[in-house]
Chain A
Amino acid sequence: MIFFPQKNRTHEIKTYGVGLVLGLLALITLPLIVQSNDYILQVFTHALLLGNLALAWNILGVSGSISLGHAAFFGAGAYCSALLSLEYGLSSWLTIPLGGLLATGLGLIMALICLRLRGAYFALATLAFVEIPRVITDNWDGLTHGSLGLVGVPGLPSLNLGTWSVDFSSSIMASYYFVFAYFLVLLGLVRFLFASNLGLAFQAIREEEIAAEAVGIPANRYRLLSLLLSAYFTGVSGACYAHLVRYIEPGLVYGLHFSAIPMIFAICGGRFTIIGPAMAALIIYPLDQFVFHPLLPAGHEFLYGVVLILTVLFLPAGFWGSLRKIS
Chain B
Amino acid sequence: MTVLQLQELSKAFNGIYALSNINFTINEGEIVGLVGPNGAGKTTLFNLISGRLRPGSGKILFEGRDITGFKPHAVCKLGISRTFQSSRPFSRMSTLHNVLAGQVFGKGFSLHVRPEDEQMAHELLDVVGIAHKAETLAANLTLSEQRRMDLARALATRPKLLLLDEVAAGFSPVLVKQAIKLINRVRERGVTLFIIDHFLNLSLKVADRLLALDHGEKIAEGPPNIVMKNREVLRAYLGMRYQDEKD
Contact = CB atoms under 8 A, between A and B. Distances in A.
Interface of A: 1-2, 5-7, 195-198, 200-201, 203-204, 207-208, 210-219, 272
B223 to A, nearest CB: 30
In which size bucket is the chain B interface? 35 or more
Contact of A196 (B81, B105, B107, B111): B111
B88 A210 contact: yes
9 closest A-B pairs (Cβ-Cβ)? A207-B90, A211-B88, A216-B76, A216-B105, A213-B72, A215-B102, A218-B73, A208-B88, A204-B101
Contacts of B73: 213-214, 216-219
Contact of B50 (A201, A214, A272): A214
Contact of B90 (A195, A196, A211, A218): A211
Interface string B64-108: 000000011110110001101000111111101100111011110
Contacts of B100: 200
14 contacts: A2-B137, A196-B112, A197-B105, A197-B113, A200-B104, A201-B105, A204-B101, A204-B105, A208-B89, A208-B91, A210-B84, A215-B105, A215-B156, A217-B101
A269 B45 CA distance: 44
Contacts of A213: 52, 71-73, 76
B154 interface: yes
Contacts of A201: 101, 105
Contacts of A5: 94, 135
B52 A210 contact: yes
A180 B240 CA distance: 77
Interface of B: 50, 52, 71-74, 76-77, 81-82, 84, 88-94, 96-97, 100-102, 104-107, 109-113, 134-135, 137, 153-154, 156-157
B86 to A, nearest CB: 11
A207 B107 CA distance: 21
Given A197-B110, A208-B89, A2 B97 contact: yes
A163 B210 CA distance: 82
B92 A214 contact: no
Contacts of A1: 92, 137
A7 B109 CA distance: 26
Contacts of B84: 210-211, 214
Given A1-B92, A211-B90, A216-B105, A203 B52 contact: no
B92 A207 contact: yes
